[in-house]
């Protein structure tokens, strides 16, 4: 039998999976625009984008834990800091950060409501 996933976990996984694609492409943009400080090879942009994308995918697998949600928030901050190098990444961070906030906050609210409804249904059957 499959494990039940809550709304926060499901929505968070969707956001992080799609965001990881954009983050990898952002790493390619950093490489192509050669915006890294002097002395840092441009290919490190690809490495950073790929590493952050991989971390997002790995984090999507541990969202059932509270610390997984916290790691997701930290990854949103790291992406926003990328806006220092490429301002367009700040726009990406705001858009996906908003989706992440909705997924985690509203998802947790839905999970609490569903748990309450389930407990009410279990206690109202005459037991």
pLDDT tens digits, residue range 74-109?
999 999 999 888 899 999 999 999 999 999 999 989
Beta-carbon contacts of 118 under 8 Å, excluding residues fewer than 6 positions away, are: none
* CA 51 distance to own-chain centroid: 14
Question: Which residue is listed with tokens 């790929």?
Answer: 50
Q: Which of 45-49, 117-121, 123-127 has the highest mean pLDDT?
A: 45-49
Q: Identify the DSSP state of 1.
A: -
Q: How far is CA 8 from CA 21, 69, 107, in A?
A: 20, 9, 4
Q: Which of 12, 15, 25 is nearest to 89 (CA)?
A: 25
Q: Is the pLDDT of residue 69 over 90?
A: yes
**Predicted structure pTM score:** 0.86
């Amino acid at each position: 039998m499959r494990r039940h996933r809550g709304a926060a976990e499901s929505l968070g996984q969707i956001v992080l999976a799609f965001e990881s694609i954009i983050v990898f492409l952002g790493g390619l943009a950093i490489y192509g625009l050669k915006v890294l400080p002097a002395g840092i090879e441009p290919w490190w942009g690809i490495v950073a984008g790929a590493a952050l994308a991989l971390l997002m995918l790995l984090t999507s697998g541990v969202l059932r834990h509270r610390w997984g949600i916290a790691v997701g928030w930290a990854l949103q901050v790291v992406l926003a800091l990328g806006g220092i190098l490429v301002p367009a990444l700040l726009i990406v961070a705001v858009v996906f950060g908003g989706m992440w906030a909705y997924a985690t906050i509203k998802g947790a609210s839905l999970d609490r409501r569903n748990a309450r409804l389930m407990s009410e249904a279990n206690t109202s059957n005459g037991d």
